[in-house]
Chain A
Amino acid sequence: MGGRGGAAPQAPAAAFAGPVRHVYVHVPFCTARCDYCDFDAQAVGAVGPAEPAVAALFDAYVAAVTAEWELERAAHDVRRLETLYLGGGTPALLGAERLERLLRVFDPWLTARAEVTVETNPDEADDAFASWAGGRRARVSLGVQSFLPALRAALGRRPAADPAAAARRLRAAGVRNLSVDLMYAIPGQTPADLEADLAAIDDVGPDHVSWYELGVVPRTPLARRLESVLGVDVSADDLSGEDERAAMHRRVVRGLQRRGYGWYEVSNFARPGRRARHNVAYWRARPYLGLGPGAVGTVGRRRWRNTPDVGAYVAGVAGGSPPRGFETLDEATLARERLMLAARCGLAVPLVELAAAVDPAAVAPLARAGLLSLHSGTIRVTRKGRYVANEVCVRLFRA
């Protein structure tokens, strides 16, 4: 491994310490809630910003994020930003004009080669959004879930929107860095379905793929809907089906690698030089600001989360401090997080930095089993270990 944004051994740095170069903006609006999604978002209905009340809410939101950014810049050592990420929710729902207004706030603070990502669903990736994103040279993350209408329907997405067409539209409008989100382990999804989604990758040709396992937690709305719509049993305990899910995951990894996408994180694959630099910053435990309702920021030992309530957030920022919950990270907690994050992408971490969290005696058996590699005082979770990274971390944790 190596290269920009890669996994080359790095100079020791304390987790989340140093100046801030990464900003996440949470856009908590969707036309409707998807029941597999656990991010904070507020459904604003299909009419969206055409509704005057919604338009006013969006404007107030943009103004509040702008104000919060000023507050945060005063509070932290913020340097020129290497990455800016607009996630949600469905950021594209704001409309090209508001998105532009929002990004202009950050423009003076972006480095020349900053990565600016905007998430969208196929529905919202209309011509207006596409031409804005293309002109902005934004990186676009497209929420596909599956190219197969039946599986999108199973997830409660509108089957009509054609994700491949949306991707073509974005490309045609000049989007040079395109990522797609996909899912596996959707109840009812066959190996052939998975191959069909892989084949669609060939057609669409994204630069980056995030391919997640769908986790169905029993007794949630998603589980109930899947049970009633598909008649599948999702009440079984966690370990059942482990082999099936493992086989699917491996099929995804192999299929994408064959197509030239490197497996650089549990669920993320990229063509050379196209890793999501923003997300890599999380996994390297770099400090980051989180703006917007429900957003989380971490700088040094302090982590905070804004209230997810849009009204309370807007009012709070106006009053100089949005309602937040705080968490102080002690040395052992920081070390555990450092390990947990690094394990996801096989980053090497010096053992001395993990001393507060890792039991040195646990290293050798894991190394013998090929799940860890131990090299000049650093440990790295291998690709084999990545599939079982939870258990590897837990084994390494001190009792």
Chain B
Amino acid sequence: MSDLAHIRNFSIIAHIDHGKSTLADRILELTGTVAARDMKEQLLDKMDLERERGITIKSQAVRIAYKARDGQQYELNLIDTPGHVDFTYEVSRSLAACEGAVLLVDATQGVEAQTVANAYLALENDLEIIPVLNKIDLPAADAAEAELELHELTGASHDETLVVSAKTGEGVEDVLEAVVARTPPPSGDPAAPPRALIFDSEYDQYRGVIAYVRVVDGSFRRRELITMMGNGEEAEIEELGFFSPAMVPVERLETGEVGFIITGIKDVAKVRVGDTITSRRGPAAESLPGYKVVQPMVFCGLFPTEGDKFEELRDALEKLKLNDAALMYEPESSNALGFGFRCGFLGLLHMDIVRERLEREYDLELLTTMPSVEYHAYLTNGTMTVVRNPAQMPAANYIDRVEEPYVAASVLVPSDFVGTIMELCQGRRADFVDMKYLSPHRVEMHYRLPLSEIVLDFFDQLKTRTRGYASLDYEFHGYRESDLVKLDILLAGEPVDALSLITPRERAHVRGKNLVTKLRQKIPRQLFEVAVQAAIGNKVVARETIKARRKDVLAKCYGGDITRKRKLLEKQKEGKKRMKQLGIVEVPQEAFLAVLELEPGDKDK
């Protein structure tokens, strides 16, 4: 039990690969929080996927006992946050649970877009920022340049900027000292009605939802009756405690402390990130600021490659949803792909993670349709239709106008690439807002551009054209009208709903041409000639023809051959299992994959 003056709540924020998890590992080692024999890399990243990809998806919180150089004992709560733009809201809530943030920058890379975005998030939450340059042991480190950029970003002086090597541990203790010295202690009121901020939640199949909380005012104890102020959900605290990093139950969580609360609620959607927990007996008058329910931004159809796996996919999505309140899914049926689900995600990484977990943890083989955004189609009768599946865009003659989501994007690049970025953005319907120099060598450029461009290939193009030097961050900015059309793909005259897409009118021809060309290449010849067409409404804008097969017959089949030749045909039939039957056309799964996954990148060829 600590008094407020000896509690420090902080997080480490960084661009991906700048060494956040390594620094956390060193801190846990140095403070003896984790015994050396239990240490492993990326200790706070529990999921296999997190370790493999070197990313953090779920927040973690760990309590560290630290005896500072002033001779006093402090309780440090380190909150590890995700770093990706898809999880910006979770990051902002994690930061709201802290008073200080270690802003970690790779001295070989300098400030990147997520460094900036996270720094702004920290500043918005009034956090004390402790700038730290990492990887100073590497020969490529340019500490002076990176420090200049950090200064531009945070105003930090030379003396305030620490240098470390998270790998070797050099300078790590100084970081902890700075956390103690510079981070203000929590400022809550122990006597006020209790309030705790939920900054993440996790589903445990035996215990239900585990809420990660920061007690802002008052205190909570076991068996206390509580209310979630955002949605009115009521429950009793079954257990509460802190992470060390294993869960350690306690009788009370006091003002300023970070820990967990378990209530037996089974649904993460009822224990929402950003919501406020209060006591039912003596409730707080107001919830903590900043609560919102995050909405999915990117949508795609997920279909099992084997038709009979639909129920398994449903079960798997249900289970993932238990731990992922932002995941949305609804059943969808496609003439091309059968029964599946239209799923909504926070962004492309989120989509990728869900798909990969479905395939790895639930052993499902999936076909994914091209990701799309949520369009708002305003109809001539005055109503608005939400379109998450391009195939469901109403016919053009019913539409008054279509609006699409725009984002405010910030791109950080070495100044040499300013021209490259401008050129790229011009081709992506992006409006330039402004730019500013972080240092003579690094520029931050601001744009407004359609989210659909990012979903299509903007990030890939950005990386390719700047040889990996550019970084991107963005946030939702609002809906804007665009001149969009629905492009349909027809096989032998039949529309293939899974391949419909919504595209700016001026690009429809090119995309149509590329799609039909690719399909012609990927669909094997059939017994009949097959027309592959791209059409806007009734107007065909591109056409290719798959020629009919001309020869497929065994040369010989006499008495001694029958079994062997029959088996050849049976094998040929077996090969058809990998085909989707669309009307009279058999389309290999590979053709769908090729079109769905490669099409965007090919657009500029």
Contact = CB atoms under 8 A, between A and B. Distances in A.
Contacts of B559: 24, 282, 288, 290, 296-298
A388 B553 contact: yes
Given A390-B552, A394-B573, A340 B557 contact: yes
Contact of B569 (A243, A249, A288, A394): A394
Contact of B551 (A249, A279, A366): A249
Interface of A: 24, 26, 39, 87, 212-215, 239, 242-243, 245-247, 249, 266-267, 279, 282-283, 288, 290, 294-298, 303, 305, 327, 333, 336-337, 340-341, 344, 365-366, 369, 371, 386-395, 397, 399
Contacts of A340: 557, 562, 565-566, 569
Contact of B553 (A282, A365, A387): A387
Contacts of A386: 553
Given A393-B569, A399-B576, A341 B551 contact: no
A70 to B, nearest CB: 21
Contact of A298 (B557, B562, B569, B573): B562
B191 interface: no
Interface in B546-599: 549-560, 562-563, 565-566, 568-570, 572-573, 576-577, 584
A61 B584 CA distance: 54
9 contacts: A24-B559, A213-B555, A266-B555, A266-B557, A327-B563, A337-B562, A388-B552, A390-B552, A391-B572
Nearest to A241: B551
B557 A369 contact: no
B560 A389 contact: no
B528 interface: yes
Given A24-B560, A296-B560, 8 more contacts: A214-B555, A279-B558, A327-B563, A337-B566, A366-B527, A371-B527, A397-B570, A399-B573
B560 A39 contact: yes
B414 interface: no
A256 to B, nearest CB: 15
Interface string B210-254: 000000000000000000000000000000000000000000000
Interface of B: 524-525, 527-528, 549-560, 562-563, 565-566, 568-570, 572-573, 576-577, 584
B551 A245 contact: yes
Interface of B is mostly: loop
Nearest to B583: A365
A231 B562 CA distance: 34
Contacts of B560: 24, 26, 39, 290, 294-296, 305
A210 to B, nearest CB: 8
B527 to A, nearest CB: 6
A225 B14 CA distance: 63
A26 B561 CA distance: 13
Contacts of A392: 527
Contacts of A303: 562-563
B483 to A, nearest CB: 40
A161 to B, nearest CB: 23
A390 B576 CA distance: 13
B549 A391 contact: yes
A332 B555 CA distance: 24
Contacts of B553: 266, 344, 386-390
Nearest to A26: B560
Contacts of B552: 242, 387-391
Contact of A243 (B527, B550, B563): B550
A391 B527 contact: yes
B556 A212 contact: yes
Contacts of B527: 366, 369, 371, 388, 391-392, 395
A333 B570 CA distance: 10
A243 B551 CA distance: 7
A388 to B, nearest CB: 5
A392 B550 CA distance: 12
A214 B562 CA distance: 18
Contact of B554 (A243, A336, A390): A390
A214 B556 CA distance: 10
B120 to A, nearest CB: 55
A7 to B, nearest CB: 16
Contacts of B556: 212, 267
A387 B555 contact: no
Nearest to A22: B559
A390 B558 contact: no
A361 to B, nearest CB: 10
Nearest to A210: B556
Nearest to A329: B563
10 tightest A-B CB contacts, nearest first: A246-B550, A246-B551, A296-B560, A389-B553, A212-B555, A213-B555, A388-B552, A391-B552, A390-B552, A365-B584
A327 B572 CA distance: 21
B241 to A, nearest CB: 56
A395 B576 CA distance: 9
A297 B560 CA distance: 8
Contacts of B563: 296, 303, 327
Contacts of A389: 552-554
A297 B570 CA distance: 21
A296 B558 CA distance: 10
A242 to B, nearest CB: 5
Contact of B572 (A215, A288, A387, A394): A394
A206 to B, nearest CB: 18
B555 A267 contact: yes
A239 B547 CA distance: 13
A281 B549 CA distance: 29
B562 A282 contact: yes
A397 to B, nearest CB: 5
Contacts of A336: 566, 569-570
Contacts of B528: 365, 369
Contacts of B568: 390
A341 B555 contact: no
Contacts of B573: 394, 397, 399
Contacts of B577: 399
A28 to B, nearest CB: 11
Nearest to B560: A296
A390 B569 contact: yes
Contacts of B584: 365
A333 B572 contact: no
Contacts of A298: 559, 562
B566 A390 contact: no
A39 to B, nearest CB: 7
A74 to B, nearest CB: 21
A277 B431 CA distance: 80
Contact of A341 (B550, B562, B576): B562
Given A215-B555, A298-B559, A242 B569 contact: no
Contacts of B576: 394, 399
Nearest to A343: B553
A249 B573 CA distance: 24
A215 B555 CA distance: 8
Given A390-B572, A391-B527, A333 B566 contact: yes
Q: Considering residues A214, A365, A371, A394, which has the most beta carbons from chain B within 10 angstroms of its beta carbon?
A: A394
Nearest to B526: A391
A327 to B, nearest CB: 6
A289 to B, nearest CB: 9
Contacts of A294: 560
A341 B557 contact: yes
